């Protein structure tokens, strides 16, 4: 049994690590901007612009990969947990429908986390992480959007505002990264548990089928 989301999980992790790195660079630039505009203009301005362009484009690429990843994660969840109640299509609807996504986005992670907590033996820690990050994710997304709009509309760029925005963005990317790591790790553990259960069931069948009451493994090499 192969996880459909495995490759995309790895790709998304890579993109998110780079985004976190860029957000750190952005934060450092904002600190310099707040501390000294002259130093920022002399040493950071060009670098900052470059970072901004890479981050902006990468953000949209990561967003597309993220949507496909969420879809695949739900395909895997449905395969591993037949009673899992949310379809891949519905999970995308939870993210993409405006206003409804205020409830939808945290609910996606709460549901995945709850399933890890209740239906797995080894992914409980991941489940707890995911459940606890569901609400902060929404809060930081809203904060980041609101601050981003304020910064874009401001006639004069306030250093403090820019610094807060950079910090919030960094935290948001880190939450996304932790969620991606925990969800994919949980899926991996759940997959191993399902494989182990299947293997145990096969062994039990073999044991019951033995004519002399002795366990044999005639057709296994």
Partner 1 sequence: MKLKEIPQMTNNESQKSYRHWIIGILLLLIPFTVAVYAYWPQYYSFTTTGEIVPMEEIDVNGSVNFVYVQEGVTRNRYEKYSVGLRDSEAEFTKVDSSAEDDLSAMLDFEEDRRNETIHYAVDSASEVISSPIEQDRRDERLQQLIEETSNYYGDSIGLMLGIGLVEEAMQEDFSQDGTIIIAGTGTLEEDHTVGSVGAIRDKLRTAEAAGTDIFFVPKDKETFMYPGLSNEQEAELASKELDLKLQLVPVATLEEAISYLRQLPNPYIRSVNQP
**Residue 39 interacts with partner 1 (CB under 8 A)?**
no
Among 35, 43, 49, 135, binds partner 1 (CB under 8 A): 49
DSSP string, the chain: ---TTHHHHHHHHHHHHHHHHHHHHHHHHHHHHHH-HHHIIIIIHHHHHHHHHHHHHHHHHHHHHHHHHHHHHHHHHHHH-TT----HHHHHHHHHSTTHHHHHHHHHHHHHHHHHHHH-SS-HHHHHHHHHHHHHHHHHHHHHHHHHHHHHH-SS--HHHHHHHHHHHHHHHHHHHHHHHHHHHHHHHHHHHHHHHHHHHHHHHHHHH-TTSS---TT--
Among 37, 39, 50, 197, binds partner 1 (CB under 8 A): 50
Which C-beta is closer to partner 1: that of 83 or that of 219? Answer: 219
**Residue 11 interacts with partner 1 (CB under 8 A)?**
yes
Q: Smallest gap, in angstroms, from Cβ of residue 14 to partner 1? A: 4
Report the candidate in 144, 176, 137, 187 with the shortest Cα–Cα distance to residue 15.
176
* Angle CA 132–173–107, to nearest 5: 40
Cα distance between the two ends of the chain: 20
Among 15, 23, 111, 180, binds partner 1 (CB under 8 A): 15
Q: Smallest gap, in angstroms, from Cβ of residue 62 to partner 1? A: 8
Q: Smallest gap, in angstroms, from Cβ of residue 216 to partner 1? A: 9
Binding mask 181-220 for partner 1 (x = CB under 8 A): ------------------------------------x--x
Could you tell me which stretch among 11-19, 94-102, 114-122, 123-131 binds partner 1 (CB under 8 A)? Answer: 11-19
Which C-beta is closer to partner 1: that of 35 or that of 217? Answer: 217
**Residue 14 interacts with partner 1 (CB under 8 A)?**
yes
Q: Restricting to residues 54-73, which ones interact with partner 1 according to CB under 8 A?
A: 54-58, 61, 65
Q: Which residues bind partner 1 (CB under 8 A)?
A: 7-8, 10-11, 14-15, 18, 46, 49-50, 53-58, 61, 65, 217, 220-221
């Amino acid at each position: 049994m192969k996880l459909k989301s495995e490759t995309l999980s790895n790709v998304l992790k890579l993109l998110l690590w780079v985004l976190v790195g860029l957000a750190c660079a952005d934060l450092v630039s904002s600190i310099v901007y707040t501390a000294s505009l002259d130093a920022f203009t002399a040493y950071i301005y060009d670098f900052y612009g470059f970072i901004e362009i890479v981050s902006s484009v990468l953000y949209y690429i990561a967003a597309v990969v993220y949507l496909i990843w969420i879809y695949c994660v739900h395909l895997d969840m449905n395969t591993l947990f037949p009673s899992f109640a949310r379809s891949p299509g519905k999970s995308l609807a939870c993210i993409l429908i405006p206003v409804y996504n205020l409830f939808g986005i945290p609910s996606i992670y709460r549901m995945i986390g709850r399933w890890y907590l209740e239906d797995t033996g080894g992914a409980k820690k991941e489940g707890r992480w995911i459940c606890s990050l569901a609400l902060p994710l929404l809060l930081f997304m809203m904060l980041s959007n609101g601050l981003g709009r304020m910064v874009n509309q401001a006639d004069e760029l306030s250093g403090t505002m820019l610094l807060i925005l950079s910090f919030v963005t960094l935290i948001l990317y880190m939450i996304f990264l932790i969620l991606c790591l925990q969800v994919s790790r949980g899926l991996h553990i759940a997959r191993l548990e399902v494989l182990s259960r299947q293997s145990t069931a096969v062994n039990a069948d073999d044991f019951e089928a033995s004519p002399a009451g002795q366990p044999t493994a005639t057709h296994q090499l």
